[in-house]
Amino acid sequence: MASRVMVALRVKASPGRAFEAFTAEIGQWWKPNPLFAFTPRAPGVLSFEGTERLIETRDGGKVFEIGRIQVWEPGVRLVVDWRQATFTPGMATQVEVTFEAVGDETRVTVTHTGWDSVPKAHAAKHGFPDTAFLARHGEWWRTLLGSLRAHLG
Amino acid sequence: MAEKRALSSAVVYRDPAAALKWLEAAFSFETTLLIEDADGNLAHAQMAWGDSLVMVGSEWTAEHKSPASIDGLMTQTVHIQLADGDGTVDAHCERARQAGAVIVAEPDMQFYGDRTYRCKDPEGHIWTVSQTLLQIAPDQWDTGDMGLKATIYKA
């Protein structure tokens, strides 16, 4: 077994539209959180580069690769690797996003796994006990999905 | 959607992961937050029902017990209020029964205008489910020979 953070909510959109907003428009609803910064520098803007990778582009144009896209099924499922700049080889997390029609809404579910690969003493965990770290991370994902929902109107 | 609310219940289970599945099957609750630790144990979970939420957790201290661990006793129950668009109490009851709920009180009309039923989940928590079918002012309640008197205190 391994640790897992799962957050889900409904958005008022079709699965296809929700997927499009999550991917093509991520730069519009994403909100950086200093606790979970990808790089030690000021946060940039997130975007999906084709169906290849998720990147963060800083003001000066420098690009950080957050992760490669492993699954790209528009309107259904997205799986992307997820790492911070301070991760060393062997540290890897992964984010799965699923889109499920519920009536005229879509249930968007984010499942973030792999945080066990990052040692408790690593800077990315800020000294939090594991479950507290995961709970904070879950709250951040909920904030993010709330922002996505607001973006979809 | 269920964000953090001013007031919400945290319900304790010996097997909270099973409870999440059961509450979804029986009551249509939707898991909105789930934290599992490195051993795969459920650390925290929240489920949404309408604009409310209920937290589902384990027996995480010696003072948090499921009814299944204390001879079926409990000190609180959770009440589910169905809105007009949520289907009927009777259909809700049948779905819960199919999921394995023990129906403690079958659906019945109450003197205050609600139709309600009461059931126990697999660990023995009692849930009440209610829907207002008749709008009856408290001074019109048909309390029959119950000897009840309704008093409304204005806030």
Q: What's B116's domain CATH number?
A: 3.30.720.110
Digit-coded pLDDT (tens) for B85-139: 899 999 999 999 999 999 999 999 998 899 999 999 999 999 999 999 988 887 7
From residue A150, alpha-carbon distances to A11, A12, A18, A145, B52 in Å are 8, 9, 12, 9, 19
Query: What residue numbers bound the domain in which B95 lies?
Result: 72-141
Out of A78-82, A122-126, A129-133, the most confident range is A78-82
- Identify whether the C-beta of residue B106 lies closer than 8 Å to the C-beta of residue B115: no
Cβ–Cβ below 8 Å for A107 and B43: no
Give the C-alpha separation, A92 to B154, whole Å.
Answer: 58
Three-state DSSP at A55 gives strand
Position B51 pLDDT exceeds 60: yes
B114 within a domain of the structure (yes/no): yes
- Identify whether the C-beta of residue A131 lies closer than 8 Å to the C-beta of residue B43: yes
The number of distinct structural domains making up chain A is: 1
The number of distinct structural domains making up chain B is: 2
Q: Does A83 touch chain B (CB under 8 A)?
A: no
Q: What's B50's domain CATH number?
A: 3.30.720.120
Residues B25 and B46 in one domain: yes
B132 within a domain of the structure (yes/no): yes
From residue A118, alpha-carbon distances to A88, A125, B42, B73, B95 in Å are 9, 8, 20, 42, 43
* Beta strand pairing call for A77-82 and A93-102: antiparallel
Residues B137 and B77 in one domain: yes
Quote the tokens at residue A143.
């904030």
Q: At what angle do helices A130-152 and A15-23 cross, to 10 degrees?
A: 110
For the segment B47-66, the average pLDDT, to the nearest whole number, is 94
Question: Which residues are registered as beta bridge partners of A111?
Answer: A6, A96
- ipTM of the prediction: 0.83
Give the C-alpha separation, A119 to A117, whole Å.
Answer: 6
Q: Does B10 touch chain A (CB under 8 A)?
A: no
Residues B92 and B116 in one domain: yes
Cβ–Cβ below 8 Å for B3 and A146: yes
Digit-coded pLDDT (tens) for A55-108: 999 999 999 999 999 999 999 999 999 999 999 998 999 999 999 999 999 999
Q: Which helix (H) or strand (E) holds B82?
A: strand B78-82
- Rounded to the nearest angstrom, the minimum Cα separation between A63 and chain B is 31
- Identify whether the C-beta of residue A65 lies closer than 8 Å to the C-beta of residue A51: no
Query: What residue numbers bound the domain in which A135 lies?
Result: 4-152
DSSP A56-88: EE-TTS-EEEEEEEEEEETTTEEEEEE--TTPP
Last residue of a domain, one of B34, B59, B84: B59
- Output phi, psi for B20, to 5 deg: -60, -45
Residues B82 and B45 in one domain: no
Interface of B with A in 41-70 (CB under 8 A): 41, 43-44, 48
Token pair 């790209």 in the structure block, residue: A72
- Identify whether the C-beta of residue B77 lies closer than 8 Å to the C-beta of residue B128: yes
Cβ–Cβ below 8 Å for B38 and A142: no
Last residue of a domain, one of B59, B91, B106: B59
Cβ–Cβ below 8 Å for A1 and B36: yes
Q: What's A78's domain CATH number?
A: 3.30.530.20
Angle at alpha carbon of residue B124, lines to B121 and B127, rounded to 5°: 55
Residues B43 and B90 in one domain: no
Residues B27 and B78 in one domain: no
pLDDT of residue A152: 96
- Output phi, psi for A141, to 5 deg: -60, -35
Residues B120 and B78 in one domain: yes
Position B143 pLDDT exceeds 80: no
Cβ–Cβ below 8 Å for A131 and B35: yes
pLDDT of residue A142: 94
DSSP B66: -
pLDDT band at B53 (very low <50, low <70, confident <90, very high): very high
Residues B49 and B79 in one domain: no
Residues B55 and B78 in one domain: no
- Rounded to the nearest angstrom, the minimum Cα separation between A116 and chain B is 6
Residues B76 and B133 in one domain: yes
Give the C-alpha separation, B150 to B97, whole Å.
Answer: 33
pLDDT of residue B1: 44
Listed in sequence order, the residues at least 6 apart from B149 whose beta carbon sits closer than 8 Å to its beta carbon are: B143
Give the C-alpha separation, A128 to A88, whole Å.
Answer: 19
Residues B88 and B121 in one domain: yes
Residues B53 and B76 in one domain: no
Q: Which helix (H) or strand (E) holds A138?
A: helix A130-152
- Identify whether the C-beta of residue A93 lies closer than 8 Å to the C-beta of residue A117: yes
- Output phi, psi for A32, to 5 deg: -65, 155
B86 within a domain of the structure (yes/no): yes
